[in-house]
């Protein structure tokens, strides 16, 4: 008794609130808001709640009022799309709304039939009507959710809140119908809960109507497909329920067996049809052709296209290019034909049997695609319906291959970088203007990716050649120094050949030069390897003494400090040879070159000092360490440049102080080895 009273008052309060909302609906919103339709829907909702409170939820008059309420809300939602700035909404919207309206009408008719039949004959009819009402509630929920998602970026929060509360109304109806179908009586606590939910929905919708927003919306293709799928599934279950009910009435003693066989057979048939790829493709093509303005959902297709291109961990770039283009037309395979020397040669394939490919390139096809930029339909070539130039350029192996479907040229800045041969999809069809436009745009996009990848590869090869040339230039500079040393030895041999000490020194010089030449040849043969080794503790005094001993000119070592630096011995020796040789060449005859060794708390310091002509500050600042810049006639200008590179590679630096007419000091600053590393 208490539950009945609560249900009465709650539904009456909900009716009062919904009756007040049309006033707010007529006063709010702009030109794009279907205010009258909203006011009518709110008024009919109030009428349905009032009928539930005053007459009863099971009465046929209440059912009629609820059906009218449903029609009004469907009309309101449809008008939102009609106010989106288009002359009329896409056919898909009309179809979805029309199907939901028809299901609502069918449910009302079944309710009337059940009321006329009475019990127990009408119970089964009423059960089917409940199923249809559940389907209607789900359909309206899907439409409300689509509107709410569409308004996320185009409307204010007040409008989104209003649409969300509309979804709450139909969520309540779906819950009530579901519980009633499961056997819960439509009275008592169920009606109390429904009345309370209606009061909350009315209050929330009133708050939403006080806020303004933009009503421009557009249903996505995905939501349309989902809605149609949901309607189809609901219709399948309704037909299944009707068929099993008929078998229960007509089957007699074998009714249970007939019902089981029918349900099993119908389910198996549906699963077989759904798993058929050709049928799915046919249905998708028909829906896109007859329900939408455009064949493709360009936003979705382009997002998938760019995601496939930008996923480096999935496959190499050339395979991703083929797959991204094939996904646009649902092609199961594709082949990249790369432009090389004026011909198209087979490249990477995606699900393509490479055993069927020709060993030679296609020159005529490459020239035709680069000149015209046209997409070639191989089916049209086979049927004799293609342009004569397209037919002439299509190679025989492509015509004879049943899987070959479409050839898409890849043009980048007017040049052909390749072409993609797409495999035949499950439902092959002739291309229309929309297919050509999409494939041309996608072809230009993947052509830019392919051209950029080729440019990066060429740049990498050029960098490797540049590294080889740079190292070869360093080696050539070292060879020049050795030639100068050997020439000096040869000139002195003419005067001192009879001196045994000179002959011994000459043999040592020749042996040293031979060893250095062999080392240079080894470095040239291993140009692809890293030239540097990790710096290690290196005693500097023995290294300097060895260099001084093998110099034919006068080189003086001062400050014999037992310094130990973090260095690579071979690189440090090469660095010092460059600087000592430059100092000897810059010094006057018989003027000594000084090597000074010193240390401080953190560094080991080697000075190379000459008494030559010196250098200007501008030359030291701007030209000294630049390659191919030299102040000496016939010099390569690489000695100081390589010396600086070697010093930096060991974590050190070179400092220069020079005065014109007084000489130059090159200071090599290296990190001193810690005592622990020296002991090790």
Residue 576 sits in a domain whose CATH number is: 3.30.565.10
pLDDT over 70 for what percent of the chain?
A: 76
* pLDDT confidence of residue 634: 53
Report the number of distinct structural domains present in the chain: 4
Convert the pLDDT of each residue in 211-247 to its tens digit.
Answer: 544 444 455 556 556 666 766 776 677 677 767 767 7
Residues 148 and 15 in one domain: yes
The answer to whether position 493 is within a domain reads: no
pTM: 0.42
Q: Does residue 440 carry a pLDDT above 50?
A: yes
The phi, psi pair for 41, rounded to 5°, reads -65, -40
The answer to whether position 258 is within a domain reads: yes
Residues 50 and 186 in one domain: yes
Structure tokens at 49: 């709640």
Q: Does residue 285 carry a pLDDT above 80?
A: no
Among 392, 425, 451, the domain-final residue is 451
The answer to whether position 521 is within a domain reads: no
C-alpha–C-alpha distance, residues 609 and 591, integer Å? 11
The answer to whether position 476 is within a domain reads: no
The answer to whether position 584 is within a domain reads: yes
Residues 248 and 168 in one domain: no
Higher pLDDT, 187 or 320: 320
β-pair partners for 416:
411
The phi, psi pair for 665, rounded to 5°, reads -120, 120
The answer to whether position 513 is within a domain reads: no
Per-residue pLDDT band for 531 (boundaries 50, 70, 90) equals very low
Q: Does residue 367 carry a pLDDT above 70?
A: yes
Contacts of 373 (CB under 8 A, 6+ apart): 409, 411, 440
* pLDDT confidence of residue 527: 45
Among 271, 293, 315, the domain-final residue is 293
- Mean predicted confidence (pLDDT) in 53-75: 86
Residues 613 and 645 in one domain: yes
Residues 561 and 581 in one domain: yes
The answer to whether position 173 is within a domain reads: yes
- Mean predicted confidence (pLDDT) in 253-277: 76
Per-residue pLDDT band for 657 (boundaries 50, 70, 90) equals very high
Residues 375 and 337 in one domain: yes
Structure tokens at 25: 């609906």
Residue with tokens 């009716």: 15
- Print the domain residue range for 62: 2-219
Q: Does residue 479 carry a pLDDT above 70?
A: yes
The phi, psi pair for 403, rounded to 5°, reads -75, -20
The answer to whether position 458 is within a domain reads: no
C-alpha–C-alpha distance, residues 496 and 71, integer Å? 120
**C-alpha 430: how far from its chain's center?**
30
Residues 315 and 391 in one domain: yes
Residues 226 and 210 in one domain: no
* pLDDT confidence of residue 85: 44
pLDDT over 90 for what percent of the chain?
A: 8
* pLDDT confidence of residue 110: 84
Residues 265 and 407 in one domain: no
**Residue 273 CB neighbours (<10 A):** 11
* pLDDT confidence of residue 77: 79
The answer to whether 568 touches 650, Cβ cutoff 8 Å, is yes
Residue with tokens 């829907």: 41
**The CATH number of the domain where 82 resides is what?**
1.20.1070
Residues 272 and 405 in one domain: no
Convert the pLDDT of each residue in 447-460 to its tens digit.
Answer: 888 888 878 877 77
C-alpha–C-alpha distance, residues 517 and 470, integer Å? 18
β-pair partners for 415:
412
The answer to whether 63 touches 246, Cβ cutoff 8 Å, is no
**The CATH number of the domain where 323 resides is what?**
3.30.450.40
Residues 209 and 225 in one domain: no
């Amino acid at each position: 008794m208490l539950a009945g009273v609560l249900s009465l008052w709650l539904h009456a309060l909900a009716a009062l609130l919904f009756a007040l909302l049309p006033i707010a609906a007529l006063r709010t919103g702009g030109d794009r808001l279907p205010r009258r339709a909203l006011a009518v829907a709110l008024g009919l909702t109030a009428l349905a709640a009032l009928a539930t409170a005053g007459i009863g939820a099971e009465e046929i008059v209440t059912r009629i009022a609820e059906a009218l309420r449903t029609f009004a809300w469907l009309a309101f939602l449809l008008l939102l799309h009609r106010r989106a700035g288009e002359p009329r909404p896409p056919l898909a919207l009309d179809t979805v709304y029309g199907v939901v309206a028809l299901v609502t009408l069918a449910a009302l008719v079944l309710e009337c039939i059940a009321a006329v039949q009475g019990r127990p004959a009408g119970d089964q009819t009423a059960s089917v009507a409940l199923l249809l009402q559940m389907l209607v509630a789900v359909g309206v929920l899907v439409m409300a959710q689509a509107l709410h998602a569409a308004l996320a970026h185009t409307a204010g929060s007040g409008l989104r809140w209003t649409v969300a509360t509309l979804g709450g109304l139909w969520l309540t109806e779906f819950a009530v119908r579901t519980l009633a179908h499961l056997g819960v009586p439509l009275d008592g606590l169920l009606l109390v809960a429904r009345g309370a939910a209606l009061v909350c929905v009315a209050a929330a919708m009133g708050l939403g109507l006080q806020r303004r927003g933009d009503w421009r919306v557009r249903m996505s293709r995905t939501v349309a497909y989902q809605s149609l799928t949901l309607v189809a599934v609901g219709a399948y279950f309704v037909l299944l329920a009707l068929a099993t009910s008929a078998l229960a009435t007509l089957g007699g003693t074998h009714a249970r067996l007939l019902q089981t066989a029918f349900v099993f057979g119908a389910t198996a048939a549906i699963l077989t049809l759904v798993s058929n790829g050709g049928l799915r493709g046919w249905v998708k093509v028909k829906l896109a052709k007859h329900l939408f303005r455009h064949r493709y959902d360009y936003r979705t297709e382009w997002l998938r296209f760019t995601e496939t291109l930008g996923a480096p961990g999935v496959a190499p770039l050339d395979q991703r290019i083929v797959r991204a283009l094939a996904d646009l037309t649902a092609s199961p395979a594709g082949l990249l034909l790369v432009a090389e020397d004026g011909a198209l040669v087979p490249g990477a394939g995606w699900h393509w049997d490479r055993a069927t490919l020709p060993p030679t390139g296609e020159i005529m096809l490459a020239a035709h695609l680069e000149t015209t930029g046209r997409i070639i339909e191989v089916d049209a070539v086979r049927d004799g319906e293609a342009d004569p130039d397209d037919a002439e350029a299509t190679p025989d192996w492509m015509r004879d291959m049943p899987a070959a479907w479409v050839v898409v040229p890849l043009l980048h800045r007017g040049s052909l970088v390749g072409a993609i041969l797409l495999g035949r999809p499950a439902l092959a069809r002739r291309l229309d203007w929309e297919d050509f436009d999409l494939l041309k745009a996608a072809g230009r996009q993947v052509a830019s990716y392919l051209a950029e990848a080729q440019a990066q590869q060429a740049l990498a090869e050029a960098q490797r050649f540049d590294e080889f040339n740079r190292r070869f230039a360093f080696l050539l500079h070292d060879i020049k120094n050795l030639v100068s040393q050997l020439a000096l030895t040869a000139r002195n041999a003419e005067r001192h050949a009879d001196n045994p000490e000179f002959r011994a020194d000459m043999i040592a010089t020749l042996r040293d030069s031979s060893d250095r030449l062999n080392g240079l040849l080894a470095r040239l043969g291993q140009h692809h390897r890293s030239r540097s080794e990790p710096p290690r503790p290196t005693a500097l005094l023995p290294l300097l003494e060895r260099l001084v001993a093998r110099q034919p000119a006068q080189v003086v070592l001062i400050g014999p400090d037992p310094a130990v630096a973090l260095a690579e011995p071979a690189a440090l020796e090469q660095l010092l040879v460059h600087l000592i040789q430059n100092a000897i060449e810059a010094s006057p005859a018989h003027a000594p070159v000084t090597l000074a060794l010193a240390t401080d708390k953190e560094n080991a310091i080697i000075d190379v000092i000459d008494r030559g002509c010196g250098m200007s500050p501008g030359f030291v600042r701007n030209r000294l360490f630049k390659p191919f810049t030299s102040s000496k006639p016939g010099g390569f200008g690489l000695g100081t440049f390589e010396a600086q590179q070697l010093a930096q590679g060991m974590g050190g630096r070179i400092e220069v102080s020079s005065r014109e007419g007084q000489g130059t000091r090159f200071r090599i600053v290296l990190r001193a080895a810690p005592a622990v590393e020296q002991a090790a």
